[in-house]
Structure 1
Amino acid sequence: MISRRRLAVSAFLFASAILYSAAPARAAEQSFTPQAFAAAQTAGKSIIVHVYAPWCPTCRAQEPAVQRVEADPKYVDVAMFRVDFDSQKSALRTLKANRQSTIIVFKGDKEVGRSVGMTDPGEISALLSKAL
């Protein structure tokens, strides 16, 4: 005999699996590589670059706003890159990013927005919306 609790848990897990598999694709930050960045620019894609350091409190404060954008279906076609401030120095030179917590928005090969140290979620969202 199946208990009510076991039946309820099974139903919940089944429903969760169905909802998860039906969820729309979402944009996700990928590690910056010069090749992937150049390919996105050549394709004329909108691009968001987040220069991040795990030890940086400002970067961590920016993270919730960046994650909301990643989850928003209207950004699914935007290429999102994360540059590791500590280990990707050549990328920092290419992007002319001197500090961690820098967010840069491109449309193709044209830069359309940049911020350094911005933590206000509304301002971050406004900046990132320039990619659309």
Structure 2
Amino acid sequence: MNWTLEVVSVPVSDVDRAKAFYADQLGFVVDHDTKGSAGMRFVQLTPRGSGCSVVLSNRPVGMEPGSLKGVQLVVNDVKAARAELASRGVDVSEVMVHAREGQRPMREGDDLNNVGICYFDDPDGNSWAIQQITARD
């Protein structure tokens, strides 16, 4: 039996602001924008090349805006991904490396496979990481 992760709920305070951030600044594809009863709204977006989407909601059950932490996007070139986000106005950290001595800034010549990572927050403070994986053991 396959177990696939298809959707991650992202709690936001302003759906329009969040939709603009995820679509325009991150480049996620808008799958649908649905308005429900009593002001409830869901916007589903999918990162390019991903089998998992995010759903932005102003009324997620049991989650406050900004409470999502630790979700990771995986790319094959973290430096290029970081540069793309920075060019789109995202406040993204420098590329860091998980090394034996702990996390440190990337140095010239570092092999970033599995250990290169950078971070950003959405407008509500939901925290994301971007990890480079070019080969899996």
Give the TM interval when normalised to the shorter protein. under 0.3
Give the number of the structure whose residues are more often helix, by fraction.
1
Q: Which has the larger radius of gyration?
A: 1
TM-score (norm 2): 0.25
TM-score (norm 1): 0.25
Give the number of the structure whose residues are more often strand, by fraction.
2
Q: Which has the higher contact order (CA 8 A, sep 6+)?
A: 1
